[in-house]
Structure 1
Amino acid sequence: MFKALAITGLSLSSLFMSNFVFANWLLDNDKSQVSFVSIKKDTIAEAHHFTAIEGKLNDKGEFNVYIDLASVETYIPIRNQRLTSLLFEVNTFPKAVLTANLKPSLAILKKPGSYVLKGISAELDFHGNKKSLSIDVLVNSNKSGDLTLASFNPVIINSGDFGVTEGVKQLQELAGLPSIATAIPVSFALTLNKQ
């Protein structure tokens, strides 16, 4: 009797894990956001975000997020235009892409709850340059199997790492500003729907 119950329990557990770990998820743009803070004149900070994000997590744990750089929203139309043309150069580099393998981390998500995943290794492909990043992520799974991923700490992006420092200088000159920070904190909150 005990053996039969144990086998049944093991089977149900395996079924749950199979459904969870070997599922596919798609990013819900309406419930997701990637934001960043720009700093000008050394003391003035302003928050901005992107309105068009796509992403997926497949059954191998391969995680990809695609940011449409032309969708930047600063709430000032001329600034949006300058960012897309001078800094992001969207005609040549339309998207920023973040990739990571979350398969090792998915194993801890055996039941709904929150976890801090320290030091997730990721790669950012932005403006024709790629850089490895270590990101602390807070992950939550709910009963339906959907996931939310949020940055536990902001990710600092340096313009020099991605060849956009000249674009920052052009923005500074056009706006007549004494300074614009060349390192910015980026945060994200992403919802992934189980398919």
Structure 2
Amino acid sequence: MTAVSRLWSLVVRGPLMVPVFASIFAVALALAFVPAARAQGVQPFVGGWHLDPAASELRFLSIKNGDLAEANRFDTISGLITDQGKAQIRVLLDSVDTGVDLRNVRLRFMLFESFQHPEAVITAQLDAALLRDLPALTRKEIDLSYALSLHGMTLSNHARVSVALLGEDRVEVASVAPIPVSAAKLGMAQGIATMEQAAGVSIVPVGIVSFTLVFERGSPDAPNTAADTASAPQATAPSAAGRAGCADSLAEASRAGGIQFSPGSTRLRANSGPALDRVAEIAKGCAGLRLLIAGHTDSDGAAQANLRLSRARADAVAAALATRGIARSRLQTRGLGEAEPLVPNSTPANKARNRRIEFTLAE
């Protein structure tokens, strides 16, 4: 690793803004290329390779209010390279670690929307000839092409990475220079706007990623799904922050939405499950505190009918949380109908925002 690379690694020791995510993934793929260079035979991928998560890091920096940089990382990643040279890296989005519980919740719910998109996946088809001279050089830089699937979108890109041999069956891939990534290209512009509103800050919509990824020779049958990793963190654990931290976490879960009903019905849609799981985890981390579940509707239909519907939907959410281990005695429900809209009921999009479930701490 060059002096410049080492310096950059120190500067961006922490993660960066989510948009930068793509860059980091690119690096991961580069790592996968290492095996190709390692082997000198005509079949360099025989036996497969797997990522060593304990020795690997995916870091990104987020910048807010003009010049305030915050360091972040992802704690749960996995990867492999098959006998055919197909490389894959998976990142569990819920494993984002900013060092602040509330900030973690905002990134998971508002930016990544991990209740709908739980992981990011990077793939590449490796060329055995690309690194055939690595055994003799021990280190070289390459341009790596990759595909990143994140937040429901798939982008193709490339990055400059450094590949170094660490031993007979071990290689390291690291970013050579900062890798900027636009939030808009990953469909995250609205998520950033939501975070800005929630936190009262301005966020630079471009992130910068750095990484150090290590692969070892091994079975391509090694776990290849980050979500299967035993060390995957719980959705949130706000109890350490006390009552205020629990209230903030519930507020963020409310803003994130994700709880949906069939039209005019109290039947929860199947895709509401992940959001309900998150609220249940928050409730478990706030042991001893009671939750208030409030239902809201738009202004379509009779006011009294909307009031009854909103109350019944709040009761349905309480029942769903009870099946997830939250004592029903800790859950208070209320229906507010169309009385407290977030925005005027003037457009279909506004009405969708007003049809919601909100969580707060009960008095």
TM-score (norm 1): 0.85
Residue correspondence of structure 1 range 58-69 to structure 2 within 5 A: 58-69=82-93
Q: Residue in 2 aligned with 1:79? A: 103
Cα distance 1:99–1:154, how it changes in 2: closer, same or farther (>3 A)?
farther
Of 190, 215, 225, the residue aligned with 1:192 is 215
SS of residue matched to 2:212: strand
Q: CA deviation at 1:62?
A: 1.8
SS of residue matched to 1:133: strand
**How far apart, in 2, do the equivalents of 1:166 and 1:143 lie?**
45
Q: Which has the higher contact order (CA 8 A, sep 6+)?
A: 1
Q: CA deviation at 1:137?
A: 1.1
SS of residue matched to 1:189: strand
Q: CA deviation at 1:16?
A: 4.8
Of 135, 144, 148, the residue aligned with 1:124 is 148
One-letter amino acid of the structure 1 residue matched with residue 176 of structure 2: F
SS of residue matched to 1:17: coil
SS of residue matched to 1:81: helix
**How far apart, in 2, do the equivalents of 1:85 and 1:59 lie?**
37
More helix by share: 2
Q: CA deviation at 1:19?
A: 6.9
More strand by share: 1
Cα distance 1:77–1:187, how it changes in 2: closer, same or farther (>3 A)?
same
SS of residue matched to 2:167: coil
Of 4, 11, 22, the residue aligned with 2:46 is 22
**How far apart, in 1, do the equivalents of 2:60 and 2:52 lie?**
19
1:19-46 CA-to-partner distances (Å, cap 9, x unmatched) read 7443411001111111111000011111
Q: CA deviation at 1:120?
A: 1.1
**How far apart, in 2, do the equivalents of 1:123 and 1:108 lie?**
25
Q: CA RMSD in A?
A: 1.7
Larger Rg: 2
Q: Residue in 1 aligned with 2:165? A: 141
**How far apart, in 1, do the equivalents of 2:156 and 2:63 lie?**
24
Q: Residue in 2 aligned with 1:48? A: 72
SS of residue matched to 1:85: helix
SS of residue matched to 1:167: helix
Percent identity of equivalent pairs = 31
Residues 111, 141 of structure 1: 8 Å contact kept: no
**How far apart, in 2, do the equivalents of 1:154 and 1:96 lie?**
20
Between 61-70 and 95-104, report the one with greater CA deviation: 95-104
Q: CA deviation at 1:144?
A: 1.9
Residues 25, 56 of structure 1: 8 Å contact kept: yes
Residues 149, 189 of structure 1: 8 Å contact kept: yes
Of 87, 92, 113, the residue aligned with 2:138 is 113
Q: CA deviation at 1:74?
A: 0.2
